[in-house]
Amino acid sequence: MKKKKGNLSELMQFAGKHKYLTYSSWVLSVISAALALVPFVYVFFIIKEVIDVAPDFAQATHIVFNGWMAVVFAIASIIVYFGALTCSHLSAFRIAGNMRKKTMKHISELPLGFIGESGSGKVRRIVNESSRATETFLAHQLPDMAGAIATPIGMIIMLFLFDWRFGLISLVPVIVGFLCMFKMAGPSMAEDMKKYNSALEDMNNQAVEYVRGVPVVKTFGQTVHSFKKFQGSIDSYYKFCVSYCKKCRAPMLWFTMLINSAFAFLIALALILAGGQAIAQSVLLNFIFYVIFTPIITTALTKVMYMSENGMIVADALERIHSILDLNPLTEVEKSERMQDNSVEFENVSFRYSNAQTDALKGVSFRVGAGETVAFVGPSGGGKTTVAGLISRFWDAREGAVKIGGVNVKNIKHEDLMNYISYVFQDSRLLKTSILENVRLGNPRASDSEVLDALHKAQCDDIVAKLPDGINTVIGTKGVYLSGGEQQRIAIARVMLKNAPIIVLDEATAYADPENEALVQKAFAQLSKDKTVIMIAHRLTTVKSADKIFVLKNGEIEDSGTHEQLVENGLLYAKMWKDYQTSISWKVSAKNAKAEMQGGVK
């Protein structure tokens, strides 16, 4: 069995040569901690001299010297600690940066469907927040850990150096406080930290999905409570935080009280030693020193407590980073096999999403000839989008083969496959840059005139005409925004400029209003010329003219044929068409009734 590396060993693998800066920060932090204790010795000398010469304080001739020596060592401690933090920060920034780079590089090698399946909010939080957690740990907690370990060692030596009785009684609240802290921050806390981060991660992911669904909320008048996953994630996070706070309340109360009460134990011991008589000068001197010195215990123990917590945070962060790094990337061939044409073929393909209980596709087989336009329709969850994703190799089939031009997609280089296929999503997004640059993403070498020609073919002339700076207008600034249908037409112009031989349209008219849908359909007509087109659609009017329609249900092809053939056979498609026509008729009737009512009011 492979031995699991420690958290620090894993972090140092990302550091490269900068790991020596981390080691230097530890050494400097230990030196700083030792220097920070020296001023207390000089303070003791001052107190001792004052008590020894009292009431003739004029004989106290070393107070100034001892005072300046205390200041010098305190300043030296600060300077050395600043050097420790400088080293640790330089190393921490490099490690966090390398961690992000390695994770993002690995994500780029994973199946394209990984982001969609995991959720962009979750992936973003893992990449950003997890690396940030290690950055804080390396930049602050590790140097403090070295100092926090050195401080108690020096403190114990000093506690027993002056009066072992006061030194021993000073450790009583420390030991009891440590036991309280262990109950709160012991092994169970690691599991609690995992639950906390999972709840926060889930809430973050659901928040992103909710924001993306706001247009649907506005369109259909739904309330926030209709998004049960988002509401449930907030409730789960709230319940966990409240229960965890209650769990830590009592231990934290006792810990805080004990580590701040060392002086009470010292007073009790001083009274016992006095035995009801006047306290001896030597006992008084030691008592005063320990009252001044023991507050360091509070600082040291607090650091230890937070170190244990942050160590668990880092362990959880690394585990989440590895949840991405341990995923296997797609296999990549050095050279693509030559494709014969633009045909697409599935041979007995089965596929199951990770963490799913059933197959999304079960033994699916079909062939789309070069230049044909085919459509996939069926109930939600039938496997339509999965078919589109497998063609583009967003995932790899569990069984069977997906072929393009007679070649298994696994034997086509990823770059070549992406150049061969264009994908129009149902919620195509534009970057916050100009229309020109958004369209030019399809072909970075295209000229301005070629971009304008693509926009014209995609029915975008009206969009360009209304923008203040034409194709140079930056989307998302100065109130310049486009509707869903307009964004879709810009996305189609991008695909036209790319000019790939195979087009995949995944619910591409889902968010378009009737006016935009008509323009999008005209753009599709231009886009589809001499191309192999795969359409995924719910609106059946958009697939009537397809060369062939495949009906998917529960991951299997239920039926196939032309629109006319499927309507005549009376099976699932015929029922879907009838229901669709009924819904269209209902909408028209409702619209007419509303118009008549408005006319009556007038």
Torsion-angle region of 345 (φ positive above 0: left; ψ -120 to 50: alpha; else: beta):
beta
Q: Is the pLDDT of residue 221 over 50?
A: no
Cα 568 to Cα 147: distance, rounded to the nearest angstrom? 82
Q: Average pLDDT, stretch 153-172? A: 73
Lowest-pLDDT range of 42-56, 85-99, 357-371, 430-444: 42-56
Q: Is the pLDDT of residue 93 over 80?
A: yes
Lowest-pLDDT range of 3-7, 175-179, 497-501: 3-7
Tell me, what's the pLDDT at 126? Answer: 80
Query: Domain limits of the chain?
Result: 7-325, 344-573
Tell me, what's the pLDDT at 3? Answer: 44
Contact of 562 with 531, CB cutoff 8 Å: no
- Whole-model pTM: value is 0.61
Report H helices in 472-571.
484-498, 514-527, 563-568
Tell me, what's the pLDDT at 42? Answer: 86
Cα 579 to Cα 72: distance, rounded to the nearest angstrom? 87
Q: Is the pLDDT of residue 475 over 50?
A: yes
Q: Kindly report, residue by residue over 307-331, the tens digit of the pLDDT.
A: 666 667 777 778 888 888 888 877 8
For residue 313, the surrounding DSSP H or E stretch is helix 295-325
Q: Is the pLDDT of residue 193 over 80?
A: no
Contact of 406 with 340, CB cutoff 8 Å: yes
Q: Average pLDDT, stretch 547-574? A: 86
Q: Average pLDDT, stretch 449-463? A: 88
Q: Kindly report, residue by residue over 370-416, the tens digit of the pLDDT.
A: 888 898 988 878 888 888 888 888 888 889 999 999 999 999 888 88
Q: Is the pLDDT of residue 589 over 50?
A: no
Tell me, what's the pLDDT at 590? Answer: 45
Residue 223: exposure state from Cβ atoms within 10 A (0-12, 13-18, ≥19): exposed
**How would residue 597 be classed by pLDDT, with cut points 50, 70 and 90?**
very low
Q: Which two tokens stand for residue 199?
A: 């709840």
Contact of 284 with 51, CB cutoff 8 Å: yes
Closest of 165, 552, 133 to residue 315, by C-alpha: 133
Lowest-pLDDT range of 8-12, 426-430, 590-594: 590-594
Closest of 8, 62, 205 to residue 123, by C-alpha: 205
Give the best-scoring range by mean pLDDT among 14-18, 29-33, 235-239. 29-33
Which residues 6+ apart lie within 8 Å of 577 measured at CB?
A: 540, 566, 567
Structural class in CATH, domain 7-325: mainly alpha
Q: How large a percentage of the chain has pLDDT more than 70? A: 80
Q: Selecting from 3.40.630.30, 3.40.50.720, 3.40.50.1170, 3.40.50.300, what CATH number does the domain 344-573 have?
A: 3.40.50.300
What DSSP string runs through 172-226?
HHHHHHHHHHHHHHSHHHHHHHHHHHHHHHHHHHHHHHHHHTHHHHHHHT--GGG
Strands 344-351 and 399-404: antiparallel
Q: Average pLDDT, stretch 37-44? A: 83
For the chain, give the mean pLDDT. Answer: 78
Tell me, what's the pLDDT at 220? Answer: 45
Q: Is the pLDDT of residue 2 over 60?
A: no
What is the separation, in whole angstroms, between the first and last Cα of the chain?
Answer: 82
For residue 560, the surrounding DSSP H or E stretch is strand 556-561
